[in-house]
Structure 1
Amino acid sequence: MTIHTFPTFHLYQPHLKNQAFQDDSSKGRQWVHRKRETVVTPLLTADCTSSNRLVRRSNNPTAVASTTVQLESASNVVRKFYDGINRRDLASVEDLIALNCVYEDLVFPRPFVGRKAILDFFKQFVGSISIDLQFAIDDISEEDASAVGVTWHLDWKGKPFPFSRGCSFYRLDVFNGQRQIIYGRDCVEPAIKPGDTALVAIRGVTWLLQKFPFLADRF
C-alpha cells in the first residue's frame, strides 16, 4: 500500500491586519488573534486653560491635526491698558474692555458701567491732564489667568508726582478668543491723610451701629 503525503498550506489573509502568525511547538502552527485597541478622540474640544491656551479640534472625524490659539496673558492685557492710557490712544484700549465691564474709581460715588461709559471717563481724564503725567507700574501680579493686582504711581516727566500712589484690581474673561477686562477697581492715595483720626472715626461709627442697628440700612 502506498501512502501519499500532501503538504499543508496556511493561507495568509491580508485583510486581517490585527492577526499575527505564531509558531507553538506544542499546538502546531496557528493564527493568534490580537486584541484591538480603540482610541476615541473627541470631535470638538474648546478649552481655555490656566496655561492661556485655547485648543480647538476639527469636527471632521478624519482630521488628525489640531489648532492651538495662544491667548494673551491677563497681566499683559492690563499692561497694554495702562500703555494705551499713557499714549492717549483710547482706540487701542477699546478692545481690551468687555462690553459689559464695570469700572469703579473710588474717587467717584458710582461705578462706570459698560465699555462706552468707561471710555468716556478716560477720554475726560486724559483730556484734563498733561501728556507728561504718566502711569508707572510698581508691581503687577503675573500668575493668575483671570485676576490681576497692580500697584502704581504717577510720574511727571519721569519723577514721582505727589499724592499719586494707587492700587488697582482687574478681573478678566475670554470673549471671542480674546481676553478682556470685565471688572476694575481703582483706589488712589488721598491728598489729606487723617492718620489716627481715621481709627477714631471707625470706632465712632461702630459704636453707633451697635446702639442703632437700623442705621446700617442707610449706608
Structure 2
Amino acid sequence: MIHTIPIFHFGPSHLKTDLHLPHLQASTFTTAASTSSNDAALPNPTFHTCGLALASVGRQNNNWWKLRSNNPTAVASSAVELESASNVVRKFYDGINRRDLASVEDLVSLNCIYEDLVFPRPFIGRKAILEFFKQFMDSISTDLQFAIDDISEEDACAVGVTWHLDWKGKPFPFSKGCSFYRLDVVNGQRQIVYGRDCVEPAIKPGETALVIIRGVTWLLQKFPFLADRL
C-alpha cells in the first residue's frame, strides 16, 4: 500500500535567521507501508532550504532546531539553541557592572535605539549607545552596581526589568528604575534592538504632579491650538 503525506518546500528568499518558516508550499511524497497491520510511525517533519535541512527534534521549545547540512564539507549535524531574551538582558547588565564594553557590544544591534528619559533625545545606533555607556562607566565608581529586582522571562522578544543601584551591596538613594527591551534575532543570535530606561527622580513632586497635569489639561481644552505645539 502507498501512503501520500505532505512535505513542505520553500526557496532561499524565505530563509530567515529567526527560523520562522513563512510562505510554505505543500507537495507530496510517497512512502511504502509497513508489512505489519499497523502503520509505521512517521518521522519528524523536515524542512529544506538553501542547502540545509532543518528537522524538528521533538521539543516543544520553538527555539530548538537540529541543522543538517547537505554540503559535504560542512559538519554533518549540529544543534543550535537561541539564547533567551531575558538572559541576553541579564548579560547586558552584567557587562555594564563589570565595565566590560567588549562583552556588551554583540548584545546590541547595529541599528539599536536606546532612550534614557533623563536625556532629551534617544541614542541611535550601537556606536552612540556604547559611547554613552562608556561615559557612564567613566563617571561613576565601580562600587556602584545595577541590581535586578525583577525581570520578565516569558516573552522571546520583549523583556521588562525593575532594578536599583547598589553601593557596596547596599541600596543607593534615588536609584530605582524600570526598563523595557525589545529583541530580535540578528545573524543567528538575539540582540537588543530597542531599549527605554525610566529612572526614579531625586525630586518627587507628589500630589503637585497631579495639579500640574490638571492645569495642562485645562489649558489644552481651553486653547486647543496649543496641542499642536506639544
Task: Evaluate the alpha carbon distance shift between residue 204 and residue 39 of structure 1 in structure 2; reply closer, same or farther with a 3 A threshold.
Answer: closer
Going from structure 1 to structure 2, the CA distance change for 1:95 and 1:192 (only over 3 Å counts) comes to same
Alignment-derived partner of residue 2 in structure 2: 35
Counterpart Cα distance in 2 of 1:176 and 1:68: 16
* TM-score w.r.t. length of structure 1: 0.77
Matches within 5 A, 1:67-86: 67-86=78-97
Q: Answer yes or no: is 1:188 the counterpart of 2:199.
A: yes
Percent identical: 79
Aligned to 2:99: 88
Q: Is the partner of 2:47 in helix, strand or coil?
A: coil
CA-based RMSD of the aligned residues comes to 2.1
Q: Which residue, out of 127, 135, 147, partners 2:138? A: 127
Tell me if the contact between 1:153 and 1:160 (Cα under 8 Å) persists in the aligned partners: yes
Query: What letter is aligned with 2:151?
Result: I
What corresponds to 2:221 in structure 1? 210
Cα displacement string for residues 78-99 of structure 1 (whole angstroms, at most 9, x for unaligned residues):
0000000000000100000000
* Contact kept? 2:151, 2:162, Cα under 8 Å: yes
Equivalences for residues 157-172 of structure 1 within 5 A: 157-172=168-183
Q: 2:155 aligns with which of 129, 133, 144?
A: 144
The equivalent of 1:15 in structure 2 is: none
Match of 1:53 in 2: 64
- Taking the aligned partners of 1:84 and 1:141, their CA distance within structure 2 comes to 19
- The structure with the largest alpha-carbon Rg is 1
**Which of 85, 93, 110 does residue 121 from structure 2 map onto?**
110
Report SS of the residue matched to 2:120: coil
The secondary structure found in structure 2 opposite 1:84 is helix
Tell me the SS of whatever aligns to 2:2. Answer: coil
Matches of 2:151 and 2:173, distance apart in 1? 21
Q: Counterparts of 2:177 and 2:214 in 1: how far apart (Å)?
A: 25
Question: 3-state SS of the aligned residue for 1:83?
Answer: helix
Find the aligned partners of 1:91 and 1:175 in 2 and give their Cα distance. Answer: 18
**Structure 2 counterpart of 1:22:** none
Contact 1:52 1:145 in 2 (8 A): no
Q: What does residue 26 of structure 2 align with? A: none
- In 1: Cα distance, 2:3 partner to 2:54 partner: 29
Please report how far the alpha carbon of residue 215 of structure 1 lies from its aligned counterpart in structure 2 after TM superposition: 1.1
Distance 1:38 1:164 in 2: 60
Matched to 1:88, the amino acid is R
Amino acid corresponding to residue 89 of structure 1 in structure 2: D
3-state SS of paired residue (2:154): coil
- Partner residue in 1 for 2:38: none
Letter in 2 for 1:212: F
Q: Which residue of 1 aligns with 2:186?
A: 175
The letter for the 1-side match of 2:127 is K
Change (3 A) 1:213 1:56: farther
Q: CA deviation at 1:134?
A: 0.2
Q: Distance in 2 between matches of 1:80 and 1:119?
A: 15
